[in-house]
Amino acid sequence: MDKIVIAGGKPLRGRIRISGAKNASLALLCATFLSRNEVVLENVPEISDVRVMIEIIKSLGATANWEKPETLRIKPPEEVSSGAPYQLVKQLRASNLLLGPILARFGRVRVALPGGCNIGIRPMDLHFKGLEGLGAELSLEHGCIRGRVKGRLKGARIYLDFPSVGATENIMMAACLAEGQTLIENAAKEPEIVDLANFLNILGAKVRGAGTDVIKIDGTPILEGGVRYPIIPDRIEAGTFMVASAATGGDVTLENLIPIHLQPLSAKLREANVEVLEGEDTLRVRADKPLRPIDIKTMPYPGFPTDMQSQLMAMLSVVPGTSMIVENIFENRFMVADELKRMGARIKVEGRIAVIEGVSSLQGTQVKATDLRAGAALIVAGLMASGETEICNAIYIDRGYHKLEEKLMSLGASIWRK
């Protein structure tokens, strides 16, 4: 069942519910190690990345059980085991988020260097800089990151050279149990950062400023836990369905989302002549007019998200005129262009710039997902294309989309596993 097949050419219409955020879920699962007591997470997407992270935290001594669909009960360990196994860690980049909370609570950590999608260089230097700034001793030995701290971590002023989401999260979690105040400057501002801060504060932490470029954390010796917490909706899943609706000339209403999180994408879709109507926790995307070419530059939040440019590339491949995408975050995010060209797209890539000349239509053929968001882009392309599109390596798509085929079928798509 590693292939997804789509018979394209059908506009999407109807209503769907957006699942919990993948990236927020992974960070919160790591953050549970800071708690002394059981934690219940709600709105957890049942996707492969979450399942892998659950296996990782269980290998470290935690217990985790599904209370009901999308509700996960986690009991952190009283003592952490020696280290997460490589065969699990290599599947998931976010496993590096265990460094901060485990170091802070247990004083030592060993985690294999993480894996994940091959979308470019994502160095650990900012994670190391921040944790070492708090007093940790870190080293890389035989493919594993080892860390230890004598006593408690110490609060510090830490400036990030780039507003890295992962580094911000790791430092913020570690600082919750440090002595004194920690100041993170040039911090990432993504909604997932705010969600993590809200969760930490419910555990008993003292985090202020999340969502701005300066985050202050006043350390505390213990976080008791014993709480329930609902995870925010997934803005990238929502964005993918928004683009799919626009690309197919559809009319889709998305429920259970936070419209302000989608503003960068909503603005670009409106620029492309798509109607986007905002409700309190809904968005309606209707495309009943000819689409216009647009230019996109990916930037850290609140700029246009790198996780959405592949899907936009697929849509723009059939928009008359010339569109351009500048990728400022990950240097390998244009690998999907070659697969789209197999379907008839005209895309020229030079370094971090992709120029898209719109064609009249795409033709279904066999293509290959090279990463999670490239897979989502090929789903969008398949929904637009004439004939059948067969997407190999669907395992990438399963990493980030909960019940994707079921949701698309409810909107009128013809899609199945093979």
Per-residue model confidence (pLDDT) at position 396: 94
Q: Give the tokens for residue 141.
A: 């030995």
| Catalytic entry in 117, 144, 176, 392 | 117
Per-residue model confidence (pLDDT) at position 118: 47
**Cβ-contact 10, 415 below 8 angstroms:** no
DSSP per position, 87-155: HHHTT-GGGGGGHHHHHHHHSEEEEEPP----SS---SHHHHHHHHHTT-EEEEETTEEEEE-SSS-B-
pTM of the model: 0.95
The neighbouring-strand residues paired with 46 are: none
Per-residue model confidence (pLDDT) at position 135: 97
Size of the chain, expressed as the number of residues it contains: 418
Per-residue model confidence (pLDDT) at position 333: 85
Mean pLDDT by 10 residues, the chain (418 residues): 93 98 97 97 97 94 96 96 75 87 94 60 80 94 87 97 96 98 98 98 98 98 95 98 98 98 98 98 98 98 97 98 95 91 98 97 97 96 98 95 97 96
The helix/strand count (H/E) of the chain reads as: 14, 23
Give catalytic status of residue 392 as yes or no: no
One-letter amino acid for residue 401 of the chain: Y
Question: 80: left (phi > 0), else alpha (psi -120 to 50), else beta?
Answer: beta
Q: List domains and CATH numbers for the chain.
A: 4-18+233-417 (3.65.10.10), 22-219 (3.65.10.10)
Per-residue model confidence (pLDDT) at position 123: 66
